[in-house]
Structures are given as C-alpha cells and as structure tokens.
Amino acid sequence: MQPCHHSSLDHELDAAAQWCLSRGEKLTDQRREVLALLLAASGSMKAYDLLAEIQKQKPTAAPPTVYRALDFLVSAGLAHKLDSTNSFVACRDFEHPHHGLMLICNRCHSVKELTDERIEARLLEDAAVHGFQVATQDIEVRGLCQRCSLAEHAEAA
C-alpha cells in the first residue's frame, strides 16, 4: 500500500509544480521538499518541525531556507498559515483560489479544510459594505474532530 501513497504524493507534487509553472514560478527542490512534508502530515506543522525533518537528510539546512519555502508556498496558494498555532498546512485545492475555512482539532491538532462558496461570498459582501477589500483570509475554527469528540465522550462515560 505504501507505493500508492507515494504515487499519490508524487501526483500532488507534480500538479503543484505545474501550477507554479502556469504562474511563471518554479517549485524548487527545497519548496517541493517542504510541500511534500506538509502534504504527508496528518495535521499542521510548525516551521521548526519541518526544519527538523529536513535536517534528517540535510544536516546543514538552516531556518531561513524553510521560512523562504513556506513564504513561497503560502503566496502561491499551495499552503495556508494557521495564525492561531503559528503552523502551516498544505492546500489541496490550490488551483481554485479561495479563502480557507480551517477546522482545527484542539486535541489531536488535525486540520480539515472546507471550501464553502456561500461563506466566502458572504464574507466578501460584508467586507465590501465596509469598503474593505479582502486580499486573503483563512478562517480558523477550533474544536474537536469527530474522532476526538467520540474519544472524549468514551472517557467521560
């Protein structure tokens, strides 16, 4: 089963590389490596966790390299920065620019991204009423995922 995961990851990385080319940009090896770690993660990752993973293969890797890669991935729409946890998560719907609605589990730290055109449209309409032009916005909703909610109820019983 592992090869399927890798081929899926390779497919996502190839699609990201094509997305970058369509924008006149390049998914460099460093950017690709950081994106691969984000895509493989079950939740969000902090920059220094990413650095620690990269240093397993490249001991001389430095923080600025990871931060530059993250800045690029966020600006290209390939990742989202979660301000509440100062961490990053891959965006799997990068070909459709959007405002992410992130459901973040307080217990296991998993992240589920929802795309809801109605919420996005309402946000843009409400902002426009106030003369505000939205550039980017990820909405972070914190709580418990289904698995952790069930586990918490089981523990309480």
Q: Which segment, 25-29, 40-44, 88-92, 100-104, is predicted with the most confidence on average?
A: 25-29
**Structure tokens that stand for 86 in this block:** 């100062």
Pairing of strands 79-82, 87-90: antiparallel
Supply the pLDDT for residue 128: 94
> From the centroid of its chain, how far is CA 85?
12
Rounded Cα gap, residues 130 and 38, in angstroms: 36
- Look at residue 19 and tell me whether its pLDDT is greater than 70: yes
Q: Is 91 annotated as a binding residue?
A: no
* pLDDT 10s digits, 64-114: 999 999 999 999 999 999 988 899 999 988 877 666 788 999 998 888 888
CATH of the domain spanning 98-157, picked from 3.30.930.10, 3.30.1490.190, 3.40.50.2300, 1.10.357.10: 3.30.1490.190
Pick the CATH number of 1-95 from 1.10.10.10, 1.10.3720.10, 1.10.630.10, 3.30.70.260: 1.10.10.10
Give SS3 for 55.
Answer: helix
The model's pLDDT over 125-138, given as tens digits with 9 standing for 90+, comes to: 999 999 998 876 77
The verdict on whether residue 96 carries a ligand-binding annotation is yes
Confidence bin at 61 (pLDDT 50/70/90): very high
Does 6 count as an annotated binding residue? no
pLDDT at 17: 96
Query: Does the annotation list 98 as a binding residue?
Result: no
Domain definitions of the chain by residue range: 1-95, 98-157
**pLDDT at residue number 156:** 82
In order of 4, 20, 40, 153, the CA distances from 56 in angstroms are: 24, 27, 16, 39
Average pLDDT taken over every residue of the chain? 88
Where does the pLDDT of residue 2 fall: very low under 50, low under 70, confident under 90, or very high at 90 and above? very low
Entry pTM: 0.81
Q: According to the annotation, is 145 in a ligand binding site?
A: yes
The two beta strands, 87-90 and 101-105, are: unpaired
Q: How many CB atoms lie within 10 A of CB 23?
A: 11
